[in-house]
Amino acid sequence: MLMPGMLLGDVFPNFEADSTFGRMKLHDFLGDCWGVLFSHPGDFTPVCTTELGRAAQLSPEDSPQPQFNKRNVKLIALSVDSLEEHHDWSEDIMAYNNTEPESQFPFPIIADDRRELVEKLGMLDPEEKDRSGMPLSARCVFVIGPDKRLKLSILYPASTGRNFDEILRVIDSLQLTAHNRVATPVDWKAGDSVMVPPSIPEQDTLTLFPAGVYTKDLPSGKKYLRYTPQPNTHQH
């Protein structure tokens, strides 16, 4: 469930919150970067630990796979526990990753122990309850653009862990389509051909896509399945 009334393209709320990196205001923290805000049902839980472990491997600049940094994306996790618990849990996550114990966890975890943000942003999973019967937070993924607008949201129930390869893949598509008039087809990955959107008239395709357009013939005779090589301009 998304925050009531929050649609793709809306400015993401500029909330203030306590995090393991200190008090933060969302828009200031993001600056000119893209952002991924992702929520968790709770600290010291198994699936969340594997998710944060994977996100931590993909984030720091000095990591062997700095996939988020190289896309100019800042990660922000959120869980409905206290700062103290987050700090202790971060140590477990780094141990799970076999990371040096003295290194800093690479991105902030928001402490939403009063559940203000999960309620405001519609992040609760009514189907999954904690031991006291309170609904758990779902596994939301919000991708926020440098213009602070919501570009994508994916919502998983607490019982299903996310796939960070998919999150990176959709960021590649969002960043490509933010700067180029193209769309990405099923299972697209960076480097594959892209599609010419239906809004572009046939007579404009040669100028807009100098690398060429291949149109697949279809029984309807309609020429809407149009492919072009991925444009090179991949600005963040």
Q: Which is nearer to ligand BEZ, 114 or 129 (CB)?
A: 129
Query: SS3 for 116?
Result: helix
Task: Take residue 6 and report the two structure tokens written for it.
Answer: 């929050």
Q: How far is the CB of 162 from ligand BEZ (least distance, A)?
A: 11
Calculate helix-pair angle for 46-57, 83-96, nearest 10 degrees.
70
> Which is nearer to ligand BEZ, 135 or 145 (by Cβ)?
135
The CA angle 208-170-57, to the nearest 5 degrees, is 135
Closest CA to 145 of 169, 183, 174, 177: 174
CA 189 – CA 185 distance, rounded (Å) = 9
Taking the least distance from each CB to ligand BEZ, the nearer of 48 and 58 is 48
Q: Which is nearer to ligand BEZ, 14 or 160 (CB)?
A: 160
For tokens 């390869």, the residue is 165
Q: C-alpha dihedral over 91, 154, 76, 147, to 10 degrees?
A: 170
- For the annotated catalytic residues, the residue numbers are 48, 147
> Smallest distance from the beta carbon of 4 to ligand BEZ, in angstroms?
24
Q: By the criterion CB under 6 A, which residues form the site for ligand BEZ?
A: 41-42, 45-48, 128, 136, 158-159
Nearest approach in angstroms of CB 123 to ligand BEZ is: 13
Q: Residue with structure tokens 């290194």?
A: 103
Closest contact distance (angstroms) between CB of 138 and ligand BEZ is: 10
> In the complex, what is the shortest distance from the CB of residue 130 to ligand BEZ, in angstroms, rounded to a whole number?
8
- Contact call for residues 142 and 12 (beta carbons, < 8 A): yes
| β 194-195/226-228 pair status | antiparallel
Give CA 143 to chain center in angstroms: 4
Residue 148 near residue 14 (C-beta atoms within 8 A):
yes
Nearer to ligand BEZ by Cβ, of 36 and 48: the residue is 48
